[in-house]
Amino acid sequence: MMVFGPVRRRLAAAVATAAVAAALTGCSSPATPEPSGSTAVGGTITVFAAASLTDVFEDIAEDFEAAHPGARLEFNFAGSSALATQINEGAPADVFASASPATMKTVADAGNTDGEPVVFVRNQLVIAVEAGNPKGITGLADLTKPGITVALCAEQVPCGAAAKTAIEASGLTITPVSYEENVRAALSKVSLGEVDAALVYRTDAAVGDAVEAVDFPESAKAINDYLIAVLKDAPNKAAAEAFVAWVLSADGTAVLTRYGFQLP
Amino acid sequence: MVTDTSSGTGPSALDSPTSTVDRRRPARRLARRRVPAPLALPAAVALAFLVLPLVGLFVRAPWPTLPQRLTEPEVLAALRLSLVAATLATAVCLVLGVPLAWLLARVDFPGRRLARALVTVPLVLPPVVGGLALLLLLGRRGIIGQWLDKWFDATIPFTTSAVVIAEAFVAMPFLVIAVEGALRGVDDRYEEAAATLGASRWTTFRRVTLPLVAPGIAAGSVLCWARALGEFGATITFAGNFPGRTQTMPLSVYLLLETDPPAAIVLSLVLLAVSVAILVALREKWIGSPA
């Protein structure tokens, strides 16, 4: 009895918390009338999005949820190709936002998109270096110098495919110390000081103060199109369509450009 | 029903040395068949839960192209690196972990309970966090790593050594816990006898304690090796991913999943086959099967 005392009290507290939470959400969602004009957009919208969209989509989500009080966005951010595999294996997602046409194509080819995927932004590679650019890196050629360590994305993920195209266009041979599994992992190797440079998207390099971006002309050869689509088996299709429309609207594009994305 | 079964296989059977087990087999078998439903059902579910996902791998494997995929140089390089790194990591764990286990089991020092708790931290820590922690300690800007970089011009991340370190970090608790358990299970009167006969503590450890806990060390090593072989999160975070140098099998499975799922399945099957083969072989040789 003595042993169970505290546990039971904790349990009681947990139940109470849950009850309060239920009461609160119960009050907020059905009781708040939907703004007239908008059809009932509600429930959870599950969005599978490329890792490079992490910050901008979370920002857009706040605006979207503020405008649609009944709706809640849930994100699964990862490498686009991993997400495509998950979707094709039946993961219950409503929307897929991919960082490359090739990965979106694998989902569309498997018949899992609802309608034609749309290009909604473009992104360009930059050389991410430590803040202040201590090694004085000005272009791709500097990455071939001895003593400069470089991280690239693995070729299997879009940023790696883009990096490969850009490097091939330059005619240089760059040997990285690591092929990172996604763009944020490559970036974090720079911000932690483990490598001197990494090829990442401009928008990724813009996150945080630890790194800065160095433009290089060859990146124009490898501009990445981002596509978005509602999925065929979306559990919450109406809300998913509303979210995609929001991303494509002026509300969405304003946030996207603020994060450094280029509009198509 | 429940008491029936437990008294049938009860303490006497558990205590009896292996040699007498064979004589008792018929009686034990009878008792063993009576399995109470509240145990049988969840046990069956658990078994299915552990085995069925592996069945999925077999069903979806691209059998026709299997031989050709297996002999690709990249697959072989990843497999070789995995086996070498896991074995080196196990060696590191043995050299450092057995003395630690002995210390925890035999020496009553202040903070022993805390030390024991700390040893298990890598078990509960997400491996990615472990990798990050290693990076912050041994990386180029790490607490220790910056001095290695400055004095010896040596950087650990992105090398095969980093793979071994990451694997040893996540796998060592398995060895320490297994060996410590074995040490606690050993009757310490043997060690006392050795001491009264004039053996030093070091001699006693080498000549009496080590042989007594050898099965525990073997079991711990196997667990440790298996954990190291499957290591992913700490490795990709701390050692990065470069074919032939830090790209172990789990890393190549993960990356192939992005573009070539059938190839990822093939690699998974290889990893599965290798680990099952080695575990079975070691089990028969060293540990002896309990059944």
Q: Do A50 and A95 belong together in one domain?
A: yes
Confidence class of residue B173 from pLDDT cuts 50, 70 and 90? very high
Confidence class of residue B267 from pLDDT cuts 50, 70 and 90? confident
Does A14 map to a domain? no
Does A15 map to a domain? no
> Span B50-55, mean pLDDT?
89
Question: For position A39, what pLDDT does the model report?
Answer: 55
Does A19 map to a domain? no
Architecture per CATH, B72-287:
Orthogonal Bundle (1.10)
Give yes or no for B57 touching A (CB within 8 A): no
Does A67 map to a domain? yes
In this prediction the ipTM stands at 0.74
CATH of the domain at A84: 3.40.190.10
In this predicted structure, the answer to whether residue B289 has a pLDDT above a threshold of 60 is: no
Could you read off the pLDDT of A143-188 as tens digits, one per residue?
Answer: 999 889 999 999 888 889 899 999 999 999 999 999 998 888 999 9
In this predicted structure, the answer to whether residue B12 has a pLDDT above a threshold of 50 is: no
* Tally of domains in chain A: 2
Name the pairing type of β-strands A43-50 and A71-78. Answer: parallel
Question: For position A177, what pLDDT does the model report?
Answer: 94
Chain A interface test: which of B254, B256, B259 (most A C-beta within 10 Å): B259
Q: Do A194 and A129 belong together in one domain?
A: yes
Residues 96-135 of B with CB under 8 A from A: 135
User: Cα-flanking dihedrals φ and ψ of residue B25, to 5°?
Assistant: -50, -50
> Span B218-231, mean pLDDT?
91
Does A191 map to a domain? yes
The structure tokens listed for B99 are: 């003395």
- Domain ranges within chain B, ordered by starting residue: 72-287
CA angle A159, A181, A149 (to 5 degrees): 80
Q: Is A131 left (phi over 0), alpha (psi -120 to 50) or beta?
A: beta
Question: For position A237, what pLDDT does the model report?
Answer: 92
Could you read off the pLDDT of A77-109 as tens digits, one per residue?
Answer: 988 888 998 999 889 999 999 988 989 999 999
| Residue closest to B195 by CA, chosen among B187, B204, B186 | B204
By residue range, what is the domain housing residue A235? 39-122+225-258
Which of A164-178, A245-259, B256-270 is least confident? Answer: B256-270
Closest A-chain CA to B262: A85
Task: Note whether A178 contacts B256, CB cutoff 8 Å.
Answer: no
Q: Do A79 and A203 belong together in one domain?
A: no
Please, what is the average pLDDT of chain B?
84
Residues present in chain A in total: 264
> Span B250-262, mean pLDDT?
84
In this predicted structure, the answer to whether residue A235 has a pLDDT above a threshold of 70 is: yes
Question: For position B26, what pLDDT does the model report?
Answer: 56
Residue A45 contacts residue A92 (beta carbons within 8 Å):
no
Q: Do A199 and A233 belong together in one domain?
A: no
Does A25 map to a domain? no
Q: Do A108 and A133 belong together in one domain?
A: no
> Span B95-100, mean pLDDT?
96
Task: Note whether A177 contacts B242, CB cutoff 8 Å.
Answer: yes
In this predicted structure, the answer to whether residue A2 has a pLDDT above a threshold of 90 is: no
Q: Do A218 and A133 belong together in one domain?
A: yes
Q: Do A155 and A201 belong together in one domain?
A: yes
Alpha-carbon distance of B68 to B185, in angstroms, equals 49
Give the full edge-to-edge strand order of the sheet including A178-180: A178-180, A150-153, A197-201, A125-130, A211-214
Which of B1-5, B122-126, B190-194 is least confident? Answer: B1-5
Complete DSSP assignment for B11-68: HHHHHS-HHHHHHHHHHHHHHHH---HHHHHHHHHHHHHHHHHHHHHHHHS-GGGHHH
Task: Write down the pTM of the prediction.
Answer: 0.74
Question: For position A221, what pLDDT does the model report?
Answer: 87
Could you read off the pLDDT of B135-157 as tens digits, one per residue?
Answer: 999 998 899 999 998 898 888 99
Give yes or no for B140 touching A (CB within 8 A): yes
Complete DSSP assignment for A118-131: EEEEEE-EEEEEET
